[in-house]
Structure 1
Amino acid sequence: MSAMRGRKRDVGSGAERLPDLEFLALVRASLEAYAPGVTRGAELKGNSLVSPQGWVVGVTPPRHGGGHHYDLIAMPDVTIQPDVPCFFDCAVALSGDPRHAADAWTQTAGACLLELLDRRGRFAEHVEPGQARGFPGRHTITSGAIAFGLDPDENRRLQIALLEANVLQSVAGTFTSDLESPFFNGVKVFYGGRPGSMQAEIRVNGERHDAASAAMTALKLPEPATFAVARYYALLLPVPAGGEEPDYPATSLELDGEADHDARCACGGHPDPDHPGFDLALPHLIEELSDEERAQHVDVSTEAMIVARGIGNFLKVRLPVQLEDGRTVNYLAWLYVEAEVIEEVVDRVHDGTSSGHRFSGLFCNALGPWGEALLRAPVVAQGRPGSKPDAVGYFEVVESSDALLDKVLRDRWPAHYVLGDQDPFSVASSPVRED
């Protein structure tokens, strides 16, 4: 499980609680920023965000909490009738800004929803029962831990403490018998407050579980020096008797274009003929680590950002390479950047001001025919507009002081040199022989 960077936030009163659909509009925007294309065609109806792919997120009547509290229900597959499988969570706008509540839900329970439907490890982590962080008898889909409060260092300390405590495995015996759903059970882990007044809480399928919460309290997690809270979410899926894959929903995200590339190359090794592209899964420095080393160092891991203690901070960007035939090959690759760069990029994405923003970094992938010669090349990236008003555009490499990378950007290249046998046009034009 990873930790996700939280922003320093002013905790206080703000606007009144939003109407359900207005809050769901914020959830839709947050989901779209987190996974571009995922809300395409989704509509706001009644008290729900309804996707044409068959998943729904709704706001339920408040079950507990104050005026800035939002209770949400996620239904991954509404085609299952009459009892639609669902899981519950809640989010609180501690700063008074409901966007923060929408983001907190998206990065935890929302990430689990996306991963349940995508199942490629792009939005949340899959953990088997026998693994170090596994839950007995269950396949776990777990989000990263997010934290927010008055001091970034204290937020960070709380995140790390929550992750290192391995809470769910530690308290599993207190609530395993209450995991009643044959599809999936949603579990929220929360820890936070002020010095001398900390709360440890575990909610199972939307309800506070007293025994599990008491067991978590007994773990004696460290207290922060000032107000801070941390949380993460997990879906626990029954494992079939034969050890096969869990019974996943029939629905899927069906992301297309750049958002639906395979971990290493676009379209699972079969690029689109007109718009070839390659999505590079990891920065070179992270790819060289063993699984054990990654688990030890990587604190944040999303589709767009990786933070690894003692190694560096990485952002995913687009690098366009022009071909002589007029096409453009888009590589989704990684840059090494300073922590301050990541913080500003995250803020600008959330505020809708990323387009036109520029930052510097070092190129962190071996690329196509140029290989490792491009590693550590200095580059400048710039935010591009999204493909539609509500979409978040990519940051794109626009210049480099490295002679070779500058040439990669400026020149037009033969298709066969860049794509080789992965060029669909080349494959399509090859003669077919019958034996």
Structure 2
Amino acid sequence: MPWIRRRARKAEQPDDRLPDLEFLALVKASLEAFAPGVTEGAELKGNSLLSPHGWAVAVAPPQHGGGRHYDLVALPDVSVQPDVPCFTDCVVAMSPDPREAADSWVQTAGACLLELLDQRKRFADQAGPEHERGVPGWHSIISGAVAFGLDTTENRRMQGALLDANVLHRIADTFTADLESPFFNGVRVFYGGQPGAMEMEIRINGERHETASAAMTALNLPEPTAFTAVRYYGLLLPLPAEGPVPSSPTTSLDTHHAHGAECCCGGELDPEHPGFELPLPHLVAELSEEERAKRVRVDTGAMMVADGVGNFLKVRLPIPLENGRTVVYLVWIYVKARVIEEIVARVHDDTLPGHRFEGLLCNAIGPWGEEVLRAPVVLEGQPIKKEGRVPYCEVVESAHPLLAKVLNDRWPAEFVLGKHDPERA
């Protein structure tokens, strides 16, 4: 028997429900904002978003809930036939804007899909069976928590409370016997409602698990003072007999970045378009590994949120050379939380190109070092050159005298690139 139950399609959808492809277009835009480049070449067909790299996301027939309820199926490797391994999740738009449902899925179940394919802990956490946050007997991929509610402070408090409760680890013995998939099992953790009427729910492979939900209720999580809903998602992978690490799908991600001396991929500088990628914001790099793991709750490779530290966005900083080339640094910029929210909204609305916003440079740059650290910058969204790919925003101005000079003057290649210049050979 296939490990995932097959259901009959309902004849009609609710009137206020978006058509499948329209909702998947929102999912695609949210994925692209979350991990720039990941949807390049992906197509919307039928009821699916299909990547040329072999993964897909589909909208399943609605099984419960109202018109703002969407059931999504993630398929990490569609080449496995005839029963394609998949995991399911459902999301609800808790406002009239269905983009919120798309964002909620991308930042939880979608993040687990990306991490399953990427395996570099850029999109979600991973924990082995012996880890203090792991599930005994299983390898875990766990997303961050996403909150929606009437009060921002309460949203953050409930996010922290749900993560601190370490739910899956503490109630593992109530549901692990029911994990049926030989590939991966999707587990959704939900905590939400009004004060005095909070609901706690665990769903295993799309189905409510009564015993686990009751066990979660018994954890006595704190209640909010206003309506709040928090969720996160986990993928539980069976351990192979020959080792502690499960095998990953043969599919992969294709996210773009600049090769350079700071790049972990080991690539060489492009002679015509040399570039450097700085892996972390200065403030995050100064943290110990333990503190970093505790504070960084979102890290997509293009966007980072660290509690008590700040919100950061990876952008392009171009430096013109005397010989006509341009050195591009991929750097981190500190921005306010509302700026991150606006950027994500503009990606959805296709209004990011040409939009300008402000931030602070959070990296030392080349030969100028820390003299430009914390310099104020003006950034601009760039035109979309390829369908489905949102390019990095670009630093275009600075009120900082030295950084303004860096951006506007032409510099000797030897001064900027030194021994890293491929043309020196």
Q: Match for residue 166 of structure 1?
A: 166
Distance 1:93 1:114 in 2: 22
Q: Secondary structure at the match of 2:212?
A: helix
Displacement of 1:21 after TM fit?
1.9
Counterpart residue number, 1:120: 120
Specify the SS of the correspondent of 2:394: strand
Q: Distance in 2 between matches of 1:126 and 1:326?
A: 45
Distance 1:21 1:263 in 2: 41
Letter in 1 for 2:238: P
Work out the CA distance in 1 between the residues paired with 2:260 and 2:68: 39
Which residue matches 1:10?
none
8 Å contact kept, 2:40–2:389: no
**Distance (Å, rounded) in 2 between the aligned partners of 1:237 and 1:141:** 8
Q: Is the 8 A contact 2:33 2:344 kept in 1?
A: no
CA distance in 1, matches of 2:365, 2:217: 49
SS of the aligned residue for 1:67 comes to coil
Matched, 1:413 2:405: no
Number of the residue aligned with 1:318? 316
Check if 1:149 corresponds to 2:149.
yes
CA contact (8 A) 2:372 2:402 kept: yes
Instruction: Describe the superposition over 1:388-424 as per-residue Cα deviations: whole angstroms up to 9, x where unpaired.
Output: 4654342211122223222221122233332334334
Partners in 2 of 1:291 and 1:213 — Cα distance?
Answer: 34
Q: CA deviation at 1:180?
A: 2.3
Contact 1:386 1:394 in 2 (8 A): no
Instruction: Provide the secondary structure at the position in 2 that maps to 1:248.
Output: coil
Match of 1:298 in 2: 296
Give the match for residue 350 of structure 2. 352
Q: Which residue of 2 aligns with 1:217?
A: 217
Q: In the alignment, what sits opposite 2:103?
A: 103
Which range moves more in the overlay, 241-250 or 176-185? 241-250
Is contact 1:266–1:277 with CA below 8 Å preserved after alignment? no
Structure 1's 250 and 390: CA in aligned 2 closer, same or farther, altered over 3 A?
Answer: closer
With the length of structure 1 as denominator, give the TM-score of the two structures. 0.88
Aligned to 1:231: 231
- Which letter does structure 2 place at the counterpart of 1:342? I
Q: CA distance change for structure 1 residues 416 and 322 in 2, over 3 Å: closer, same or farther?
A: same
Q: Deviations over 1:97-130 (max 9, x none)?
A: 2222111111111111112112222222222333
Give per-residue Cα distances to partners, 1:43-70, cap 9 Å, x unaligned: 2222211222111111111222222111
Establish whether residue 422 from structure 1 lines up as the match of residue 393 from structure 2.
no
SS at match of 1:281: coil
Task: Indicate the SS of the match to 1:300.
Answer: strand
Asked if structure 2 preserves the Cα contact closer than 8 Å seen for 1:355 and 1:393, the reply is no
Cα distance in structure 2, aligned partners of 1:233 and 1:299: 14
TM-score by length of 2: 0.90
User: How far apart, CA to CA, are the structure 1 residues paired with 2:396 and 2:285?
Assistant: 25
Map of 1:383 onto structure 2: 381
What is the distance in 2 between the residues matched to 1:257 and 1:377?
23
Could you say which residue in structure 2 is the equivalent of 1:330? 328
RMSD value, Cα: 2.3
Where does residue 367 of structure 2 map in the other structure?
Answer: 369
Q: Report the alpha carbon displacement of residue 361 of structure 1 after superposing the two structures with TM.
A: 2.5
SS in 2 for 1:268: coil
Q: In the TM superposition, what are the counterparts of 1:191-206 in structure 2 within 5 Å?
A: 191-206=191-206
Distance 1:334 1:109 in 2: 26
Count how many residue pairs are aligned between Structure 1 and Structure 2: 412
1:231 partner letter: R
Q: Percent identity?
A: 67
How has the CA–CA distance of structure 1 residues 194 and 267 changed in structure 2, closer, same or farther, with 3 Å as cutoff?
Answer: same
Letter in 1 for 2:375: A
Q: Which runs of 5+ in 1 are unaligned?
A: 1-13, 431-435
Distance 1:397 1:330 in 2: 10
Q: Whole-Å Cα distance in 1 between the matches of residues 351 and 130 of structure 2?
A: 44
**Hey, what does 1:7 align to over in structure 2?**
none
8 Å contact from structure 1 (residues 265, 277) kept in 2: no
Distance of aligned partners of 1:327 and 1:353 in 2 relative to their CA distance in 1, 3 Å threshold: same
Offset at 1:267?
Answer: 4.8
Structure 2: 5+ residue runs without aligned partners?
A: 1-13
* Secondary structure of 2:266's aligned partner: helix
- Supply the AA of the counterpart residue of 1:232: Y
Aligned equivalents of 1:214, 1:271: Cα separation in 2: 56
Map 1:168-187 → 2, pairs under 5 A: 168-187=168-187
Query: Alpha carbons of 1:420 and 1:237: their partners in 2 closer, same or farther (altered >3 Å)?
Result: farther
Whole-angstrom CA distance in 1 between matches of 2:48 and 2:337? 37
Which residue does the alignment assign to 2:48? 48
For 2:394 and 2:76, locate their aligned partners in 1 and report how far apart those are by CA, in whole Å: 33
Q: Note if contact 2:126-2:140 (Cα within 8 Å) is conserved in structure 1.
A: yes
**How many Å apart are 1:308 and its aligned residue?**
2.7
Distance in 1 (CA, whole Å) between partners of 2:152 and 2:374 is 29
Q: Give the match's secondary structure for 1:387.
A: coil
Q: Which residue number in structure 2 is paired with residue 19 of structure 1?
A: 19
Give the whole-Å Cα distance in 2 for the aligned partners of 1:239 and 1:324: 56
Q: Give the drift of 1:333.
A: 1.0
